[in-house]
């Protein structure tokens, strides 16, 4: 499914994010930036060793050896991926009833998109951040994701944002949110 916001396109699709040839793909990383399971592992496997080296360099040169804080985003090249760049962001780990997780999840989307926009990119693919191992319920995460993307795209001329969902079920959840919000678009 596809919707227009300003001159921007928001696309929802089922697929594998490592196969997307948008200018950037977003990695749902952990703060160490050293790779992990899920989409993070898939991106590192497909990109090859250069990606890990680039992440280590960001840790040492830009983060003083510390973890990337939740909600923030950094960019590397894409190495062997079809996408030229990878934007690494750290989603919140779901804890029922805890404050600020919505805000931190929203920051992942807005900071990644802003970084892509500032770097002059015009297309980006997102996975469903935090809804795998980090346990954020997809019904709630999808509302935060779509609301944040729609708000951002409503104020800029970027290009194309793809939500690349790994399962049909997740895609249907995101599509439902977009259908609900269509009246506001």
**Side-chain half-sphere CA neighbours of 42 within 13 A:** 14
Q: Where are the alpha helices (DSSP H) in 11-137?
A: 38-47, 49-62, 101-118
Give the chain's length: 185
Name the residue nearer to ligand ADP (CB basis): 78 or 132.
132
| Among 17, 88, 18, CA closest to 46 | 18
Name the residue nearer to ligand ADP (CB basis): 121 or 164.
164
CA distance 149 to 165: 15
Give min distance, CB of 129 to ligand ADP, in A: 5
Chain contacts with ligand ADP (rule: CB under 6 A)? 16-18, 28, 38-40, 42, 91, 127-134, 164, 166, 170
Give min distance, CB of 7 to ligand ADP, in A: 26
Give min distance, CB of 26 to ligand ADP, in A: 10
Strand duo 160-165 + 123-126: pairing: parallel
Name the residue nearer to ligand ADP (CB basis): 36 or 159.
36
Active site residue 77: no
Q: Which of 40, 61, 99, 117 is catalytic?
A: 40
Catalogue the active-site residues.
Answer: 40
């Amino acid at each position: 499914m596809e919707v227009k916001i300003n001159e921007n396109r928001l696309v929802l699709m089922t697929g594998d994010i490592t196969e997307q040839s948008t200018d950037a793909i977003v990695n749902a990383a952990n703060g160490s930036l050293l790779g992990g399971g899920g989409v993070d592992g898939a991106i590192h496997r497909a990109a090859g060793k250069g990606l890990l080296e680039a992440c280590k360099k960001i840790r040492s040169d830009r983060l003083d050896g510390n973890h990337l804080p939740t909600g923030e985003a950094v960019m590397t090249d894409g190495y062997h991926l079809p996408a030229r760049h990878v934007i690494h962001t750290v989603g919140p780990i779901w804890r029922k009833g805890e404050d600020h997780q919505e805000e931190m999840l929203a920051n992942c989307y807005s900071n990644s998109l802003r970084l892509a926009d500032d770097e002059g990119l015009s297309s980006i693919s997102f996975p469903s951040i935090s809804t795998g191992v980090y346990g954020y319920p997809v019904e709630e995460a999808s509302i935060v994701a779509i609301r944040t993307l729609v708000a951002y795209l409503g104020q800029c001329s970027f290009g194309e944002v793809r939500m690349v969902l790994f399962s049909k079920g997740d895609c249907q959840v995101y599509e439902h949110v977009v259908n609900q919000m269509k009246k506001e678009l």
